[in-house]
Structure 1
Amino acid sequence: MEFNTTNTTSELGVMEPQTLARLLHILQTATVAALIFAVCAYIPKLKHRAHLAKLPVFNSSTGGGKGYIKSTKDLYSEGYRKFKDRAFLMTTLQGESSVVVPQALLPELRKLPDDVLSFPKAIDRSMEVKYTRIEADPRLSVHAIRSDLTPALARLNSTICAEVDDAMRQHLPLCHEWTEVPISDKLVDVVARISGRVFVGPDLCQDPEYLECCTKYTIYLMDAVRAIKKVRPWLKPLMVPRLPEIIRLRDMEKKAARILQPMVRERMEAEKADPDWQRPDDMMQWLLSHGAEHGKQSVESLANTQLGLIFAAIHTTTMTATNLLYTLASTPEYIVPLREEVREAMAENDGKITTRALQHMVKLDSYMKEVTRLYPPGITSFARRVLKGITLSNGQYIPAGVIIEVPAQAIYTDSDHFPDSGTFDGFRHYKLRQGGTASDHARNQFVTTNELNLAFGYGRHACPGRFFAANEIKMIIARLLLDFDIKMPGDATERYLQIETGSSSIPDPRKTLMLKRVEA
C-alpha cells in the first residue's frame, strides 16, 4: 500500500502558522495575566514595607544578627532609651520584623481582640508548631486551670505542702556539713513530683517513667525547635519528620500516651459503672470532665495536653526557684529575716504552711518579685502577631503580619519606674505594700501582672497557672530556708551570671550551691 505524503505535507504547511498564532496568543495572555497577578501580589508587600518604613528603625553599632544573639538585652535597652514613648522596628533572631512598643500603650493593646492581636500566631513560628505539634492555643488546659485548679488551691494546699516536704526529703542530701549540691538538677526533680501530684494524682506522680517525661520533655522539645530552625524552609516538609530530634519527640508523645492510658480508661469506666464514684481531685480528672466540650477525649489528645502543661510548668518553675536560690546565696543578709518570717507565719497557723501562712510571707513574696525583676525569664514580653493593621493612640500605624513585643527587662531597669533600679532591694515591694494604698498592695505582689510587671505575661493571655506556680515556689523556698543555710561554693560572693541567648535569659543549670542543714 502506498502512502501519499503530498497532501499531508500541504495540510501541515497550512496549519502551522495558525497553530503558532494561537500559541502566541495564549502565551501573551498568560504573560499579561502573570504580570497582573504579580503586581496584585506585590502591591500589598509594597504597602507593608511602606508602613514599616514610617516606623523609626533601631540600628545598633553591634551590627547584624550576631549582635542580636550576643547583646539582645543591650539592644532592647538602647532602643527603649532612644524611643521610649514610641514604637520602633527591630529585626528578630528569626529575621522577622518586630515592632517594639512602649509599655504606656499596653492598656490599649490588651483591649484588642484575638483576631487583631494573636498570641497563638506569635508562637507558631518561634516554636515551629507545625512540626513540634505543641498546642499554641491550649483552651482545654487554660479552662481547667482557671475554673478548677486556681479555685482549688486553698483546698489542695495541705496536699501540695506534704508533697513538697516528701520530694525535698527524697531528692536533697542530708547536708549535716556544708555540701555542694547541683541545685537546678535537684529542683527539677522536686518540681516534677510536686506538679505531677496536682496533674495526675498521688500514684503516677511517683512513677519513674512519668517523671522522666516531666524532666525531659521540655529539653527534647527545645532541641527539636533548634534543629528545625537549621533546616531551609523549602526543605522542612521533607527533612523535618526525619530529624532525630523530631523522632525522639514523637517517641516521647507515644510514651506519655502509654503511661496515661490505664488511668484514663480506669476513670472513664468507673464513672460509667458507678454513679457514686468519687472523682479524683486533680488536673487529669478536670481535663476528662471538660474534654468533650473541647473535642479532646482520646488518650493521645489528653496526653498532648498534659505534655503542654509539663512544658509550661516544670522548667519555668525550676528556673524561677533556681534564680531565687542563686540570688539568696549571693545576698546572705536576707536569709535570716526571711527564715524568721516563715517561722512566724507558720507559728500563727498551727505550725503549718497554710494558704493564710503563705499570704503572710510578704517579705518572701517581695524578694521573689525583686529577683524576677532583675533576672526575668525573658528580655521581652507580650509577643503578639498583628493580624489586622492597627493605629496606636500616638498616631503610629502597625501593619498586619509583624510581631509586636514589649522590652520587659528595659522597663524593669528604668529608674523612672523603679527608683535606683540597678540596685537589688529584696524588700522593695514589701515596703511599697506596707506604706502604700490598696492599689500599691495589689500591684506589688509576685503574681500581679500589669504594664510594669510582665514576667507572667499581660492581658487575657497572662499565665493562668501563676497562682499555683507562686504557691509552689514559695513553699519550696520556705522549706529550704527552714532546713538549710545556703552559700556560694568557695565562699564566693558574686552571683552566677545568667545564660542569655537571643531574648531568653536563664540561670546556668550546671552551677552548684553549698547547703548545710540548720540544726534545731
Structure 2
Amino acid sequence: MAAYWCFGHERSNVPYISGGLPLLGHIRILKNSTEAFRLAHAQYGDIFRFRLLGRDYYVLNDKLLFEGFKRHKELSFHQALPRMILTRAFFVVHKDNDPFHATVLRNMQPKHLERNIGHVQHMLETELDKILQRSGAGHLLDWARILPLWMMERWVRAFTHWPNHHRALRRLMVPEIERRVRLYDHQTKHVPADKPDDVLQWLIDYEPRDDPDWMFKCAMRLVGLFFAHINMAPVFFLLTLADLTGRPDLRERLRNEQRRVVGAHGATITPTALEDMTLLDACFLESTRIHAAPITLQRLVTQDTVFSDGSVVPRGSIVYMSSVSINCSAKLHGEDWREYRPERHLEPGKQRKAIAIQHEVLMFGSGRHACPGRFLAVSEMKRLACLVLRGYDFTTASGQPYQFKPLFFEPLTHWVDVGLVLCVVLLTAWIYCAFFRDLSNVPYISGGVPILGDVQVLQNSVDVFYDAHAKHGDIFRFRLYGRDYYVLNEKLLFEGFKKNKELSFPRALPRMSLTKAFFGLDEESDRFHVDMLRTVLPKQLGAVMERIQRVLEDKFHETLGASETHTIEEPYKWCLYIVSSGISQFLVGPELGSSPELFRTFVSLPIGANALFDWARVLPLWVMNLWVNMLTSWPTYRETVRRLVVPEIQRRVKLEQMPQEAAAAGAVEKPNDVLQWLLDIGPRDDPNWMTKCTQRLLGLSFASMHTTTHFFHLMMTDLASRPDIRAALRDEQRRVVASHGAIMIPAALDAMTLLDACFLETARVHSHPTFTQRLAVQDAVFSNGARVPKGSTVYMSPLTINFSASLHGNDWRDYRPQRHLEQKKHRKSTAIQHQVLVFGSGRHACPGRFLAVSEIKRLACLLVRSYDFTTLSGKPFQSKAMFFGSQVVDQPIVFTRLSPKERIG
C-alpha cells in the first residue's frame, strides 16, 4: 500500500464503484453484481470501474462500448477471448480468437437447421429424461475473469479431469474422424447420400489439415461447440420456465399462440413457426432481460482509450459492457422494468425478436462479436418452451415462485477456494500497489472497497450498472482487484466501432469465452467460425432442425411420461437434457451423437461454465486457464471429444477421397451436420487439423447448448406463470401449422411472431448488464471525452436499451411480449436490432443466433403444442442477483398433457 501511494499514479478517470475493501477490492459485487452495477450506472452514467485483487475492470454501457467499436480499436475482443472462455486450457486451441466456430455457425447453422428441423425437434422430445450433472466449467470461466490466464491453464491441467477428457476424446473421436475422412474427403462436387449430417462432419469439412494432430483438434472444437451451446440453453430455458411457472394465464396464451402457429405451420416447430410465436419470443426476451447478467462479453484495452465523454481507460484494462443499463432501463422498458411482463416486447413500435441483435434487451452481446450461436440457442429454447407448453402445464411443487440469489460469490464458501483467493489477492494487491497508474477520466461506480475494488458489481451488477448509467451516462468503470473495467453503452460502443480501431473484440475474446482453457483454441482471431456461421449455417439450418424436431418430440414425451401430469423437480437440468439430446446429433450426426459417452461429455460442458465466465471477467486469464485445467473436468472433456470425433473425421475424409463412381455405388450420403460443415470449409494444411476441427466443434457445441438451454429455460420460466401467453402461443401455432404443416420449418417459425416476441421479451427481461467485451489496444478517446487507456477491458452495457422506458414503455420491468408486436415493424429475434440487445450488434453480432433462435422457438413450440405447465407452488419464478446478472431460483414445474382436442399437430 505504501509503495502505491508513494509511486502509483491514476491512469484512468473512470470512477470506481463504492464499497471497495483494501487489497481485495470491490468484493461485494461478488454477492450481487447486478444490483451493484445497476446502482453504479445510476450514479456514474455510462462508464465506471471496480477493482478486484488489485486489478481494475471497466464497465461501459452500450453507448460507450459501441463508440469504442466504431472509433476505438483499442478495445480488443479477441485478446480478451482466451481469458473469457479459457479455450486453450479447456479445448487445447492455441489461438486467441478462433473464428472457426463463428464461421460454422454463421454459414452452415441456419441452412442445416432448416433442412433437419424435424430431426432436431424429434430428438429433443425423446431425450428429456436424462439430465446430467454440471462439469464446473462455468466455475472456471468465472475465475478466469479475475485470475491470470497462465494460472488458469495450469490449474486446468493440474487439478482437473481435462487431460483425461483430452485422452478420451482422442481415443473415441479420432478413429471416427479418420473413418469419415476416408469416406468423404474425395467427395468435392457430389455430396454422398450417407455422409453424416452432424457437427463433427462439419468440423471435418472445415478443419484445416496442415497440423498433424488436426483430428484431435477437430474433436476438441466439437467439445467446445457442445459446451457453449449446452451451457447457455438450459439456463435461459429454465429462466423462462421459472417465470412462466407462476403465470398460468401467460402459459395459456402461449398455448393459444402455438395452436395458431401449429394450425398454420404444422406440429413440427419449424423456424417459421417459431418466428410466428411472438408471445413466446417475448416471454423469452423478458426472462432474459430480467435475469440477464449485469455485464456481457469483455474487451481488452490494447492502448489507452479516451471515450467521447472524456473517460480514460488505460491500456491493458479489462472492459465489460454493462447490460444493466439496457435490460434494467426504465426508459427502454418502462417503470415496471423489474417485473416480468413479456407484453412489453410486443407493444406497437417496440416489437422485437430474441434472436435479433437489438438494443432494448442485451442477450447475446452486440456488434460484430455478438454470440454466433444465438440462432440455435433461441430456436432451441423457444422450441423447448413450445414442446412443454403444448402438452403440459407446470408449477412448482412447493407452490412458491422461484427465487433468485447471487451466484458468483458462492464458490468462495469452500475453504480451498478461499485459500486460493487469499493467495491471489495478496500477490495481485502487491503488484497493483507497486505499479498501477490511472490514465482514464471515466468515472468509477460508487461503493468500492480498498484493494478489492467495486465488489458490489459481483452482487448485483444489473442494478449497479443500471444506476451507474443513470448517474454517469454513456460510460463508467468499476475496479476489481486493482484492475479497471470500462462499461460503455451502445452509443459509445458503436462510436468505437466506426471511428476508433483501438477497441478490439478478437483480442478480448480469449478472456471473454476462455477459448484456450475450455477448447484448447489459441488463435486470437479465428475467422473460420464466423465465416462458417455466416455463410453455411443459414443455408443448412432448416434441414437440420426439421430432422432433429422428431428427436425433440420423442424426448418431451419420454421425459414427461404418459400420465396426464408430470412434475419436473429441476427444470434447468431437464432443459439441459432436452437441448443436449438435439444438439449432440446436430453437431456430429445421429450415429455419433447417440454415443452415450459423447452425449455425457456434451451435457457436462455447460454445467458450471457460467461461473467460470463470470470469474474470467475479473480474474487474470492465466488463473482461469489454470483453474480450468487443474480444477475442472475440461481436459477430460477435450480428450473424450478428440477420441470420439477424430475417427469420424477420418472416416469422412476417406469417403471424400473415394472415386465418385464407388461413392455412388455405395450410396454414400454426405452428412449434414456441424462436423461436416467444419470439414467442408476448414483448411487442412495444418497436420493437426483434425484435432483443431474437434476443438472447434467443442466450442460450437458448448456455445449452442449453453445459449439454447439458457434461453429456453428462461423462456419456459417466464411462460410458466402466464397461461394467457401460452394459450396465445398455441393459437398462433395452430394458425401456423394450418398453413405450413406440423414440421416447424423456418417459414413456420418466422410466422410465429408472438413466439418470437416471447423470446425477445425473455431475453430483454433477463438481460445481462454487460455484453461482449473489447480490449483497448491503444489509448482511446471517445466523443464525450472519456479516455480508456491501452490494455483496458471495455464492456458494452445493454441495460440502457433493454431496460429503457423510452423503447419499451414504463412497464419495461414487466414481462410483456406484446410490446415487441406493438412496434411499427416487428423485427425477428435473429435480426440485428437496436430495441432489444440479445445477440450483440455490429459486425461482431452473434453469428449463431439463427441456430439458437430456431432451436429455442422450436423447443417452445413443441412444448406448448402438447403440454401446459405451471409451477407446482402456483407462484411465478423469482430471480436472484448474481455476479454479472441474475439467476432464476429453480422450483418444480408441473406439466399437464393437453387433451387430444387441445393438442396441436
**TM-score bracket for the superposition, by shorter chain length:** 0.7 to 0.9
Indicate which of 419, 444, 462 corresponds to 1:73.
462
For 1:273, the aligned partner's letter is M
- CA, structure 1 residues 138+162, in 2 after alignment: closer, same or farther (shift >3 Å)? farther
Match of 1:382 among 772, 787, 793: 772
Q: Deviations over 1:409-458 (max 9, x none)?
A: 343222122211123212110121xxx1xxx333xx21233344322122
Q: Does 1:422 align with 2:813?
A: yes
Counterpart for residue 485 of structure 1: 868
Q: In structure 1, what residue type is equivalent to 2:837?
A: L
Q: Confirm whether residue 399 of structure 1 aligns to residue 773 of structure 2.
A: no
1:411 and 2:797 correspond: no
Match of 1:457 in 2: 840
Residue aligned with 1:203, SS: helix
SS at match of 1:404: strand
Displacement of 1:298 in angstroms is 3.3
Alignment check: 8 A CA contact 1:144 1:283 kept: no
Contact preservation (8 Å) 2:764, 2:837:
no
Match for 1:512: what amino acid? P
Instruction: Identify the residue that residue 30 of structure 1 maps to in structure 2.
Output: none
CA contact (8 A) 2:462 2:769 kept: yes
- Equivalent position to 1:121, from 503, 507, 514: 507
The 8 Å contact of residues 296 and 302 in structure 1, kept in 2 or not, is answered as no
Q: How does 1:3-152 map to 2 (within 5 A)?
A: 48=314, 52-60=439-447, 64-84=453-473, 86-92=474-480, 95-111=482-498, 116-125=502-511, 131-135=517-521, 137-152=525-540
- More moved, 44-53 vs 293-302: 44-53
> CA offsets per residue over residues 174-218 of structure 1, 9 Å max, x none?
341353443221221221121222211121222111111211123
TM-score computed with the length of structure 1 as normaliser: 0.80
Per the alignment, do residues 422 and 462 of structure 1 end up closer, same or farther by CA in structure 2, a change over 3 Å counting?
Answer: same
| CA spacing shift, 1:259–1:220, aligned 2, 3 Å | farther
**2:536–2:677 Cα contact (<8 Å) kept:** yes
CA-atom RMSD in angstroms: 3.3
Q: Is the 8 A contact 2:555 2:578 kept in 1?
A: yes
1:32 maps to none
Q: Is the 8 A contact 2:628 2:634 kept in 1?
A: no
1:204-353 mapped onto 2 (5 Å cutoff): 204-219=592-607, 243-245=630-632, 248-275=633-660, 277=663, 278-292=669-683, 295=686, 298-353=689-744
1:109–1:234 distance in 2 versus 1, CA, 3 Å: closer
Question: Separation in 2 of the partners of 1:294 and 1:167?
Answer: 41
The 1-side partners of 2:673 and 2:744 are apart by 21
Tell me the CA shift for residue 365 of structure 1.
Answer: 0.7
Q: Alignment identity in percent?
A: 23
Say if 2:511 and 2:616, in contact at 8 Å, map to a contact too.
no
Post-superposition offset of 1:150: 1.6
> 1:104 is matched by which residue type in structure 2?
K
Which of 869, 886, 894 does residue 514 from structure 1 map onto? 894
Closer, same or farther in 2 for the Cα pair 1:107/1:355, shift >3 Å? same
Structure 1 residue 252: deviation in Å? 1.4
Structure 2 counterpart of 1:355, one-letter code: P
Higher relative contact order (CA 8 A, sep 6+): 2
Judge conservation of contact 2:556–2:578 (CA < 8 Å) in 1.
yes
Conservation of the 8 A alpha-carbon contact between 2:564 and 2:897 = yes
CA apart distance, 1:400: 1.4
Q: CA deviation at 1:97?
A: 1.2
Q: Distance in 2 between matches of 1:308 and 1:188?
A: 17
Read off the aligned partner of 2:760 and give its amino acid letter.
K
Residues 142-161 of structure 1: CA deviation (Å, up to 9, x unaligned) = 32222212222233342132
1:284 shift after superposition: 0.8
- Deviation for aligned residue 1:65: 4.1
Partner of 2:589: 201
Tell whether the 8 Å contact from 1:132 to 1:225 is kept in structure 2 after alignment.
no
Which stretch shows the higher mean deviation, 325-334 or 172-181?
A: 172-181
So what's the TM-score if we normalise by structure 2?
A: 0.47
**Separation in 2, partners of 1:465, 1:241:** 25
SS at match of 2:699: helix
- Match of 1:385, as an amino acid? L
Superposed CA deviations along residues 304-348 of structure 1, whole A, max 9, x for unmatched, are 111101221102211101111111112222111111101110011
Q: Is the 8 A contact 1:218 1:310 kept in 2?
A: no
- Within the candidate set 544, 555, 580, 1:167 is matched to 555
- Contact 2:871–2:893 under 8 Å retained in 1: yes
Structure 1, residues 255-283: CA drift from partner, whole Å, max 9, x if none? 11111122111111111123354421111
**Alpha-carbon spacing, 1:297–1:506, altered in 2? closer, same or farther (3 Å):** farther
- Unaligned 5+ segments in structure 2 are 1-6, 12-302, 305-311, 315-435, 664-668, 901-905
Please give the per-residue CA displacement for 1:89-145, whole angstroms capped at 9, x wherever unaligned: 2225x64312222322333223368x6222232243455555445536443333222
**Separation in 2, partners of 1:156, 1:180:** 28
Letter in 2 for 1:405: Y
Q: Deviations over 1:27-53 (max 9, x none)?
A: xxxxxxxxxxx99xx9x9999488744
Cα distance between partner residues in 2 of 1:357 and 1:487 = 26
SS of the residue corresponding to residue 497 of structure 1 reads: strand
Distance in structure 1 (CA, Å) of the matches to 2:629 and 2:534: 38
1:150, 1:465 within 8 Å by CA — same for their partners in 2? no
- 1:355 matched to 2:746: yes
Q: Assess, with a 3 A threshold, how the Cα gap between structure 1 residues 183 and 133 changes in structure 2: closer, same or farther.
A: closer
**1:45-85 deviations in whole A, cap 9, x for unaligned?**
9994887442223213899444222121221011110122x
Deviation at 1:295, TM superposition (A): 4.1
Q: What residue number does 2:546 align with?
A: 158
Q: Which amino acid aligns with 1:495?
A: F
Checking the alignment, whether the CA contact within 8 Å between 1:172 and 1:186 is kept in structure 2 is no
Greater Rg, structure 1 or structure 2? Answer: 1
180-189 vs 313-322, which moves further? 180-189
State the partner residue of 1:9. Answer: none
SS at match of 1:110: helix
Q: Contact 2:469–2:800 (CA<8 Å) still a contact in 1? A: yes
Q: Is the 8 A contact 1:200 1:283 kept in 2?
A: yes
User: Could you tell me whether the CA contact under 8 Å between 2:879 and 2:887 is conserved in 1?
Assistant: no
Relative to structure 1, the CA distance from residue 164 to residue 118 in structure 2 (aligned partners, 3 Å threshold; closer, same or farther) is same
Cα distance change, pair 382–126 in 1 and its aligned pair in 2 (3 A): closer
2:703 counterpart letter in structure 1: A
The residue type equivalent to 2:877 in the other structure is R
Distance 1:517 1:446, change over 3 A: same
Q: Give the aligned residue type for 2:801.
A: I
Q: Which amino acid aligns with 1:371?
A: T
User: Using the alignment, how far apart are the partners of 1:409 and 1:305 within structure 2?
Assistant: 31
**Residue aligning to 1:370:** 761
User: In the alignment, is the contact (CA less than 8 A) between 2:801 and 2:834 conserved in 1?
Assistant: no
**8 Å contact from structure 1 (residues 320, 372) kept in 2:** yes
Match of 2:564 among 161, 165, 176: 176
Q: Which has the higher helix share?
A: 1
- How many pairs are equivalent? 462
Aligned to 1:14: none
1:231 Cα deviation from its structure 2 partner: 9.3
C-alpha change, 1:211 and 1:236, in structure 2 (3 Å) is closer
